Amino acid sequence: MERADRRERPARTTAVSAAAILLATLLALFPLLAATALAAPNISFVSPTPANNSFVNTSSVIFNVSADENVSSCSLYFPAPTVGDGSDGNLTVTAANTIVNNYTYLTANASAGSASLVVSSASGFGAGDEVLVVQTQNYSAGTAGAYEFARVSSVNGTNLTLTFPLTNSYYSGSHNTTSSTTAQVVRVPQYRNVTITSAGSITAKTWDGYSGGIVAFRATGIVNNSGAITVLGAGFAGAAAISSSIPAYQGESSLGDGTQTTVNNREAGGGGVSSITGGGGGGGGHAAVGANGSGSSSGWGGTTIGLSDLSLLTFGGAGGGGGYYSSGPAGAGGGGGGIIFVAATTINNTGTLTAAGANGGAGSGLSAGGGGGASTTGA
């Protein structure tokens, strides 16, 4: 992978609509009035400032304002462009399984209205970075899939201070248990142009119960993909294979790890039971319910999760394990699909973008196969 040196972010001067929020310290030239509270001046836009919701296709624009007091300065703050700011330069990917994101997770709850994230490690994160915060698991609190993008203003130890307060609340509790509550934080690179050659691919760190499973980046220019962007089976873990005559495990879900039962684990499939007629693991669910496993003693398919408008970002449910019978290990469940988020001015795709769940493993002898993981709906 070749990556251009990261450059200091220039001050944003991009013109937007007249509805831009004035979030500024207004330095008014008032006479000195001891022990007298002074009201802030009123500032309003006046013609010929561009109209609300208008598109400005120039490098600069003049905003005209009026005020009821003399004002020495006024700052305008604009939201980050949808396609990013290009501060990470150009990216060319020639190697397979290239990871472009950094990952960490919350070690303390973060309430809506706060501007601080306490994380396990801030390595790879810095001032000016954009981050994606996601409530990946929510057994004890929060909404599975709740997310937002934020900007880091400073890093102090394991504390990420944000430029603006959080919209949602995020919760952190136990991890890699049957009752997991996990919120992760992903650094979102800001490229200019991205080229993925036919031999190259971008992928995510596989979800490990703390973080991972997500590819997210922005590009101000063109994304040319001749290779692959893939999170195949990179989400929730499929159930492990068993070699004993008891119910197999459920797949992992937004509630946590699975237990040994045929019932589904929310969106993850249930485990199969020892049976001469089958006992396959249940398939994971996402936009659609997962399929029940084969045979009369099979695992249940996972439920649906997420919303079609992508206002929640959720992994696909993992597959349940197959039931063991007489000989040979049963099949493991397939991992759920991860999440891909790409924002660019232009995307030319002659390769593949894959957010599918992995297939369940085949059983040997008379043992049943595991259920497949669910694909995500896209991003």
Question: Which domains are present in the chain?
Answer: 17-77 (no CATH), 91-227 (2.40.30)
Q: What is the pLDDT of residues 286-302, one digit of tens each?
A: 777 877 777 777 778 88
**pLDDT tier at 11, thresholds 50, 70, 90:** very low
**pLDDT tier at 359, thresholds 50, 70, 90:** confident
**DSSP labels, 345-360:** EEEEESSEEE-PPPPP
Percent of the chain with pLDDT over 70: 71
Q: What is the dihedral of CA 279, 282, 283, 285, to 10 degrees?
A: 170
Distance, in Å, from the CA atom of 155 to the CA atom of 135, rounded to the nearest integer, reads 21
Distance, in Å, from the CA atom of 247 to the CA atom of 255, rounded to the nearest integer, reads 19
Most confident region among 19-33, 71-85, 249-263 by mean pLDDT:
249-263
Distance, in Å, from the CA atom of 182 to the CA atom of 148, rounded to the nearest integer, reads 15
pTM of structure: 0.77
